[in-house]
A = this chain, B = another copy of it.
């Protein structure tokens, strides 16, 4: 008898199999009992028919507490009325470990605060399971896309001596006799590896100690940051839209069941095709004004502004050429218009807002030196970064894609907190 995983069940019709998992739910109608068993890959209906099996086993099924670990064996049968399309006609059940009868996450509704306290158990529920399977698929699709397109993974350090975009929101730690800060970005290091390897990406956790509680922010989040030498601003935008289209295509192809379980409107995702619309920051300001937003040229966008803009389009929209002062010190000014940068944010549709920030970097030594001064950044910590313009400077561009925001958009979630196994939020670090 083969031990199988539920996600493979369609290959075993008519065969006797064993499934090792946990009891998720149960219902009964006299002479038939249904156990819903999960094994981490999916959920299966295990059917017990009184007249067709050992009565002791049939009776035992009532006394197994939810979330007990169990092994069931029986024959796989097609069953069109269940979501999976197959069920198991149970012959035997073995209880591996009986759960206590007070499982904290019963099948009724719970508040999010309560569920977060039991995040280690909440992960077992079908909805959380589906979201995090989609997250894994998104991450895999990103890596595959970049590997296929000649980008090479170059891990950048988390412990860094200086900040990329200012110091107010940094986590600090003692580093022997020195101080270190948790990286908010691998950007600057990427520029060094891009000069050594051509096209690179880093992909790791990043940190922001922001005293804010919004549905779009976590203290610890994952980001992929590609960077490419000899790639200009427009080419960079093209890489971004190709990447996003690839991600969405892969999730549609491989995670349909999960999207359906989340009741995601798949037709909205099917619209995601290149090219994405592009509007300038100037145009965006006009749109916001005409929507009654009090905003002036030079202001940065808030979450609400992004929502307004991104609701206008059925696919992600690039907002390009922000004022220099809205963006990081290393962004290259537009040669035709020095007050804006060759940078763009990509806003996801349906009001999801920014998922990518990117653009071309300053390649001119003198300008970069001036920017460091203007931003009062300690030159000695950036000497190595200046070296990249002293020795073999090239036009180069890159971007950062936030994983959790992308997962929230693809899954259609209103809050980012469910997009990572153990979210780190304001005052929230347990479990």
Interface residues of A (CB under 8 A from B): 5, 20-22, 39-41, 67-69, 96-97, 99-100, 103-104, 118-121, 123-124, 128-129, 132-133, 136, 139-140, 143, 147, 150, 152-161, 171-178, 180, 182, 189, 192-199, 204-205, 207, 209, 211, 219-220, 222, 229-230, 363, 381, 384-385, 387-395, 420-422, 424, 426-427, 429-431
CB distance from A244 to the nearest CB of B (A): 20
Copies of the protein in its oligomer: 2
Q: How many angstroms between the C-alpha atoms of A124 and B173 in the bound complex?
A: 31
The answer to whether A387 and B121 touch across the interface, beta carbons within 8 angstroms, is yes
Pair A155/B222 contact, Cβ less than 8 Å = yes
Distance between Cα atoms of A390 and B102 in the complex (Å): 10
Q: Which 3 residue pairs of A and B lie closest in terms of their CB atoms, listed nearest first?
A: A40-B198, A384-B431, A120-B192
**Minimum CB–CB distance for A209 against chain B, Å:** 8
Known: A20-B230, A147-B140. A196 touches B392 (CB 8 A): no
Q: List 30 A-B contacts (CB under 8 A).
A: A5-B150, A5-B198, A20-B229, A40-B152, A40-B196, A40-B199, A69-B393, A96-B394, A97-B363, A97-B392, A97-B393, A97-B394, A99-B391, A118-B387, A120-B189, A120-B385, A123-B192, A128-B196, A129-B197, A132-B197, A136-B153, A157-B424, A158-B220, A159-B220, A159-B424, A160-B429, A172-B174, A182-B182, A192-B431, A193-B421
When chains A and B are docked, how far (Å) is the Cα of A193 from the Cα of B420?
A: 11
| B384 close to A22 (CB less than 8 A) | no
A421 lies within 8 A of B189 (CB): yes
CA distance A391 to B178 in the complex (A): 45
Query: A194 contacts which chain B residues (CB < 8 A)?
Result: 40
Known contacts A161-B429, A427-B176, A429-B159; A154 and B96 CB within 8 A of each other: no
Which single residue of chain B is at the shortest CB-CB distance from A21? Answer: B198
Q: Is the CB of B124 within 8 A of A195?
A: yes
Q: How far is the CA of A167 from the CA of B189 in the complex (A)?
A: 30
A381–B205 touching, CB < 8 Å: no
Let me know if A157 and B220 touch, CB within 8 A: yes
Give A228 Cβ to nearest chain B Cβ, in Å: 10
Q: Of B140, B205, B211, which one neighbours A158 at CB under 8 angstroms?
A: B205
* Minimal beta-carbon separation of A24 from chain B (angstroms): 10
A158-B220, A222-B155 known; A422 vs B392 contact (CB < 8 Å): no
Specify which chain B residues have a CB less than 8 angstroms from the CB of A189 in the assembled complex. Answer: 120, 421-422, 431
Complex Cα–Cα for A180 and B67 (A):
31
Given contacts A40-B152, A158-B182, A159-B429, 15 further A-B contacts (CB under 8 A): A22-B195, A22-B392, A41-B198, A96-B393, A120-B192, A121-B391, A123-B193, A123-B197, A136-B152, A158-B220, A161-B429, A171-B175, A172-B174, A189-B422, A192-B421
